[in-house]
């Protein structure tokens, strides 16, 4: 931790306070060189939690990884860094409430998607597509419908409606071209 005034790298902690939800620690520090004081807000990025991936491998829960994916999904979207930080705090809160010390990557993905959908639909879609190798549109819709938020269910219903519309339009076109062919034969 470098002093923001003189860039000296030794500071002492005067006061330390954990945030209400336990995801960050606010520290009051004093520079050992220039004696000026400043505050830091340090995120707790690691939980004592293991994550099982779809290929069966296990790794330590890493919030930074989720943050990087969120930043990527929210690129060029009207989402602020503060909003992303808030999503991360909610995710940590939800993950901490889960039973056991092991969670599947897809469950974490579901929790993140649930929060992201409320923030920005396009960012949500980008995140969902990168994180799940959907085989079909049905797989995709099925997962969205499984989201806990009301918005998730509403969103899935709207997508299904759009898909049905596309299907009925293409069968109408087929009928038209069929009539043309028959007409040609006569
Ligand atoms: Zn200093």
DSSP string, 100-113: SSEEEHHHHHHHHH
- Expressed in angstroms and rounded, the spacing between residue 13 Cα and the centre of ligand 1 is 13
80 and 40 within one domain: no
Which domain range does residue 126 map to? 45-168
Spacing, Cα 36 to ligand 1 middle (Å): 6
Q: Is residue 9 domain-resident? A: yes
Residue 18 Cα to ligand 1 middle (Å): 24
Q: How much is the pLDDT for 52?
A: 86
| In a domain? residue 112 | yes
> pLDDT category, 134, cuts 50, 70, 90?
confident
179 within a domain of the structure (yes/no)? no
pTM above 0.85, yes or no: no
> Does 104 share its domain with 135?
yes
Q: In the predicted model, what is the mean pLDDT of residues 72-97?
A: 89
Question: What pLDDT, on a 0 to 100 scale, did the predictor assign at position 69?
Answer: 92
Ligand 1 centroid from CA 64, angstroms = 29
pLDDT in the model for residue 104? 86
User: Residue 110 has what pLDDT?
Assistant: 86
Would residue 155 count as lying in a domain?
yes
Within this chain, do residues 13 and 90 fall inside the same structural domain, yes or no? Answer: no
Shared domain for 27 and 61, answered yes or no, is: no
Confidence grade of residue 9 (pLDDT, cut at 50, 70, 90)? confident
Domain contains 138? yes
How many angstroms separate the alpha carbon of residue 79 from the centre of ligand 1? 34
Count of structural domains within the chain: 2
Do 16 and 49 fall into the same domain?
no
Same domain? 30 vs 81: no
Distance separating alpha carbons of residues 142 and 129, to the nearest angstrom:
13
My answer on whether 39 and 54 are in the same domain is: no
Q: Looking at the structure, tell me whether residues 15 and 90 fall in a common domain.
A: no
> Does one domain contain both 31 and 51?
no
Contacts of 103 (CB under 8 A, 6+ apart): 49, 50, 51, 52, 61, 95
Measure 10 CA to ligand 1 centroid, in angstroms.
8
**Least confidently predicted of 151-155, 167-171, 178-182:** 178-182
- In angstroms, what is the span from residue 38 Cα to ligand 1's centroid? 9
Average pLDDT in the chain:
79
Q: Within this chain, do residues 17 and 100 fall inside the same structural domain, yes or no?
A: no
74 pLDDT above the threshold of 90 = yes
């Amino acid at each position: 931790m470098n002093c923001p005034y003189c860039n000296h790298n030794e500071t002492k902690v005067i006061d330390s306070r954990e945030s209400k939800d336990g995801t960050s620690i606010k520290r009051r520090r004093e520079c050992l060189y220039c004696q000026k004081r400043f505050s830091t807000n340090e995120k707790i990025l690691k939980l004592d939690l293991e994550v099982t991936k779809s290929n069966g491998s296990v790794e330590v829960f890493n919030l930074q990884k989720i943050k990087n994916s969120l930043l990527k999904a929210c690129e060029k979207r009207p989402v602020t860094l503060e909003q992303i930080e808030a999503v991360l705090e909610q995710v940590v809160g939800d993950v901490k409430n889960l039973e056991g010390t092991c969670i599947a990557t897809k469950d974490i993905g579901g929790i993140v998607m649930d929060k992201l959908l409320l923030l920005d639909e396009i960012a949500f879609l980008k995140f969902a597509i990168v994180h799940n190798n959907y085989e079909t549109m049905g797989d995709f819709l099925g997962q969205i419908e499984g989201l806990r938020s009301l918005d998730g269910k509403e969103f899935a219903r709207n997508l299904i409606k759009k898909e049905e519309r596309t299907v009925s339009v293409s069968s109408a076109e087929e009928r038209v071209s069929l009539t043309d062919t028959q007409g040609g034969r006569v």
